[in-house]
Structure formats: C-alpha cells, structure tokens
C-alpha cells in the first residue's frame, strides 16, 4: 500500500508542478483541478474525482502542500455536501449540483443546529410542510458558519411530527436567495462574526431537492456529520461570488494567507508566541511562569503527535474512530490552557487589544475565542460520551423518547404538544 500511495503522490506532484501558475485566476485553477480529478481525488471519476481511497487522497494533499498550491474550493458544500450527495442523492441532483461545487461557483452552508436542538440534533423543530411540488419551511437555525455568503444550504427539517424524532426528518438542498430566509450575524466577543442565526418564514424548497428518502434525513445527516469530523483539507480560497475571490489570482490568495499567518491570525502552534511574550515582558525567569510554559508546550506537542498519528491511521485506511473524540477534547484543553497561561504572562497587558500589544494581540484573541473550542464540532460532553461508550465500554445514556411521536414530546423550546 505504501508504494502505491507514493506512486499516487508522485503522479499528483508531477501534475501540480506542471500546471501550478501563480498568475492563474482562482476560477481557472479550480477548473483545471475539477477536470483533472486532482481537486477531489476521493470522488468517483465520473464526478470530478479519481476514485481514490482516503489514504491515497491524503497522499494527494501532501503533494499540494509540497508544491505550495492552493487546494480545491472548500466551503461546507464541497467538504460535506459533495460527499453526502454522492452517498445518498439521485443522479438528477448530482448533475445539478456537483459541477457547481467542483468548479467553486457556489458556497454552501449547513442548517442543522437550533436554539433548542444542538447536541440533541434529532429534537429540531424547524418544520417543512408539503404544498404541491414544494415544501414550506418555518423555523430557526443558529451557529451557522458562512450563511451570509451562501448560495445554497443543506437543511434538515421536520416533515412528520407524528413519527419519533429520529424518523420524521428530511434533508433538503435549499436556495438561500429568497425572501423567506433572513440571516442575522452573531457578533462574538473575539470581534468575529462568522456564525449566524437564520429565520425561515414561509421559505420554499422543491420536492425534487430532497436528498435520500422523505423522512429518512437522519441517516443522511449522519453522513454529513461524519465528514464534518474528518480533516485534512488543503488551505484554499473561498468559493462563490459573494466573497469575490474567483477572479483573484492564486498567487494573491497564497500571499494573503501567508500574511495572515505572519500577523498571528491563526491559532495553531501558539506556544512560541506565549514564550516570546514572556521574554519580551521579562517574565521567563519566574519559576512559576516557566513551569506553566513547559506545561503548555508539552500539551501542544502531545496534540501535534496525536495529529500525526491520526494522519498515519488515515493513510493506512483506518477510520478516525473514537481517537477523533480524544483529539477534540485535547484541543479544547489546549485552548483553555493557552487562555490561562497567556493571560498570566500578559498581566495587565491582557486588558488591551490590538496589533501594538505584546504578541500582536494574538493571545488576547485566543483567550476570547477559547469558549468556542469546547462547543464547535461537537461539545466536549458529546465527545466524552463517545469515548465512554466506544473505548471504555460503558452503557449508553438511556433514551426514553426513542419511540415516542415527536408531537407528544416536551423537548428543546417546545412548550406544548402541537
């Protein structure tokens, strides 16, 4: 297998070195990737891919990184929607949407979570009611990344309130450009506003936009969530028209990404910044501070080695398994420890923000961003449950509502039976 993976990596390297040109526009580069199959190598050959296994696709990603080329378009539509469609959708839906995703012409978001249905996703209450050849959608979604830029969305809605909560859901592809959808940004305390809440008021989606089976959306949603927990994406530009990156050159995208990394906008490998700030403020000789810096460095190094182990497992064909949950909790712990040590080192400087503060404001931004790390991508509590059940062999939490019609449940924000 290793020799085969190396051969695929060498083939991808050869193609990328021949075709990578920083002067190309993003849309033209993505066209080359889509038509060559190297952009989405794990997709079938018929659908803009090469039919490679996951470990072989990882070898292709290595080739992108070695050349320094940006990857294929990478909104949730490409990362989650495309694989979900390939698993569950009819050919007509594949023909309609996969070209838009592969060429980067559309940006998609994901409408799953609701105010009363986060960890208990199956308790969602957004309703879709059949009216002729359309479904009328009413309800609310929250914590939706990129909704303000999206052309379409993956929508999970309740279509049968008389069925148990896992069995009355349907998965749709809904158009965002319609009057019945209102997107409101959520301004976060770290000054970002990538998340949104969305209100549906008699929004419409065609019956021909159902992915999978009517009332069978739970299994389709699980497929999407499986790909959400995967990793290994190559840094790229944003697809769709609203972010105006299609007509930039790929060289401009690379330069912008490198500039962002230099300015400390990323959160990866932040320990060196904490150490540099400790030296700048002459706190590196304090024995307590040194102990905390060593603790932070050790945890970050353990997480890095765990990531390498996961990558190795993917390259040998192993699935992520419960190890993904262990890594998720480790990242949450690292984020919290970074906040604590960073603020200890900064002292009074921690009350200031901006690029002129010690560390360029990166530690303050990390501190304000830290609560989200234990929520995004599955809460720490959910990850603990997975580890308990799949690693420790503990019994599952009791589910007393598994066979109860949703209409009869008092769940989430539902205050009375419908």
Strands, E, within 21-113: which ranges? 108-111
Dihedral angle of Cα 400, 405, 411, 415, to the nearest 10 degrees: -140
Strands, E, within 176-227: which ranges? 181-185, 196-206, 210-211
Contact 71, 236 (CB under 8 A): yes
Strand partners, 111: 155
Encoding tokens for residue 415? 């205050």
Q: Where would I find the H helices in 133-281?
A: 217-228, 250-262, 271-280
**With the C-alpha atoms ordered 273, 279, 283, 285, is the resulting torsion angle positive or negative?**
positive
Residue 31 has phi, psi (to 5 degrees) of -65, -45
The predicted structure's pLDDT at residue 254: 87
Q: Where would I find the H helices in 123-269?
A: 217-228, 250-262
Please name which of 195, 157, 160 lies closest in space to residue 173, comparing C-alpha atoms.
157
Q: Convert 171-195 to b/e letters by CB count within 10 Å (16 or more is b).
A: bbbbebeeeebebeeeeeebeeebb
Please name which of 213, 201, 224 lies closest in space to residue 163, comparing C-alpha atoms.
213
The predicted structure's pLDDT at residue 246: 93
The predicted structure's pLDDT at residue 201: 98
Rg (CA), the chain: 23
**What is the residue-wise DSSP string for 304-324?**
HHHHHHHHHHHHTT---TTHH
The predicted structure's pLDDT at residue 378: 73
Query: pTM for the full model?
Result: 0.85
Q: Whole-angstrom Cα distance, residue 177 to residue 107?
A: 12
The predicted structure's pLDDT at residue 260: 52
The residue length of the chain stands at: 418
Contact 236, 72 (CB under 8 A): yes
Q: Whole-angstrom Cα distance, residue 202 to residue 415?
A: 22
The predicted structure's pLDDT at residue 262: 38
**Catalytic annotation on 131?**
no
The predicted structure's pLDDT at residue 229: 57
Within 8 A by CB and 6+ apart from 219, the residues are 88, 212
Contact 50, 38 (CB under 8 A): yes
Domains of the chain: 2-74 (no CATH), 108-228 (2.40.110.10), 263-378 (1.20.140)
Residue 130, sorted as left (phi over 0), alpha (psi -120 to 50) or beta, turns out to be beta
Q: Return the SS3 of 200.
A: strand
Encoding tokens for residue 98? 């996969």
Contact 331, 306 (CB under 8 A): no
Q: Whole-angstrom Cα distance, residue 206 to residue 104?
A: 23
Please name which of 135, 146, 120 lies closest in space to residue 170, comparing C-alpha atoms.
135
Residue 341: CB atoms within 10 Å: 25
Q: What Å distances lie between residue 354 and 39, 186, 362, 369, CA to CA?
A: 37, 21, 8, 15
Q: Which of 11, 134, 228, 252 is catalytic?
A: 228
Within 8 A by CB and 6+ apart from 189, the residues are 368
Encoding tokens for residue 333? 């712990």
End-to-end CA distance of the chain: 56
The predicted structure's pLDDT at residue 193: 81
Contact 114, 130 (CB under 8 A): no
The predicted structure's pLDDT at residue 1: 56
Q: Which residue has the tokens 């420790």?
A: 392
Segment-wise mean pLDDT, segments of 10 residues, the chain, 418 residues: 80 95 96 96 95 86 91 92 96 97 96 88 95 98 93 98 95 97 92 89 98 97 79 79 92 75 49 93 93 94 77 55 76 92 94 90 91 79 86 85 86 50
Encoding tokens for residue 418? 């419908």
Q: Whole-angstrom Cα distance, residue 179 to residue 187?
A: 23
Please name which of 167, 176, 173, 181 lies closest in space to residue 138, comparing C-alpha atoms.
181
């Amino acid at each position: 297998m290793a020799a085969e993976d190396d051969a695929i990596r060498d083939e991808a390297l050869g193609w990328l070195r021949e075709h990578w040109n920083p002067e190309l526009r993003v849309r033209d580069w993505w066209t080359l990737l889509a038509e060559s199959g190297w952009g989405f190598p794990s997709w079938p050959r018929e659908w803009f891919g090469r039919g490679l296994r996951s470990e072989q696709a990882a070898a292709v990603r290595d080739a992108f990184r070695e050349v320094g080329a940006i990857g294929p378009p990478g909104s949730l539509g490409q990362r989650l929607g495309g694989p979900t469609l390939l698993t569950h959708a009819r050919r007509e839906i594949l023909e309609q949407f996969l070209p838009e995703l592969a060429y980067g012409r559309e940006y998609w978001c994901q409408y799953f979570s609701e105010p009363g249905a986060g960890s208990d996703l199956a308790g969602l209450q957004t309703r879709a009611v059949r009216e002729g050849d359309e479904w009328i959608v009413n309800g609310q979604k929250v914590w939706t990344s990129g909704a303000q830029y999206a052309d379409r969305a993956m929508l999970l809605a309740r279509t049968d309130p008389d069925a148990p909560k896992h069995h009355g859901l349907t998965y749709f592809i809904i158009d965002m450009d319609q009057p019945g959808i209102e997107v409101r940004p959520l301004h976060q305390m770290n000054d970002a506003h990538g998340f949104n809440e969305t209100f549906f008021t008699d929004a419409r989606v065609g019956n021909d936009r159902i992915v999978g089976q009517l009332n069978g959306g739970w299994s389709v949603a699980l497929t999407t969530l499986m790909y959400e927990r995967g990793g290994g994406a190559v840094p790229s530009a944003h697809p769709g028209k609203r972010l105006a990156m299609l007509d930039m050159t790929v060289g401009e995208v690379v330069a912008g990404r490198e500039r962002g990394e230099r300015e400390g906008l990323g959160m990866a490998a932040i320990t060196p910044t904490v150490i540099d700030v400790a030296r700048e403020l002459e706190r590196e000789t304090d024995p307590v501070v040194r102990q905390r810096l060593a603790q932070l460095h050790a945890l970050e190094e353990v997480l890095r080695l765990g990531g390498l182990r996961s990558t190795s497992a993917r390259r040998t064909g192993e699935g992520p398994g419960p190890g993904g949950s262990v890594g998720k909790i480790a990242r949450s712990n690292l984020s919290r420890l970074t906040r604590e040590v960073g603020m200890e080192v900064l002292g009074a400087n921690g009350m200031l923000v901006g690029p002129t503060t010690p560390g360029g404001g990166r530690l303050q931004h990390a501190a304000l961003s830290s609560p989200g790390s234990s929520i995004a991508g599955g809460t720490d509590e959910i990850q603990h449950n997975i580890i308990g059940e799949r690693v420790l062999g503990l019994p599952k939490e009791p589910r007393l509502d598994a066979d109860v019609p949703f209409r009869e449940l008092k769940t989430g924000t539902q205050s009375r039976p419908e």
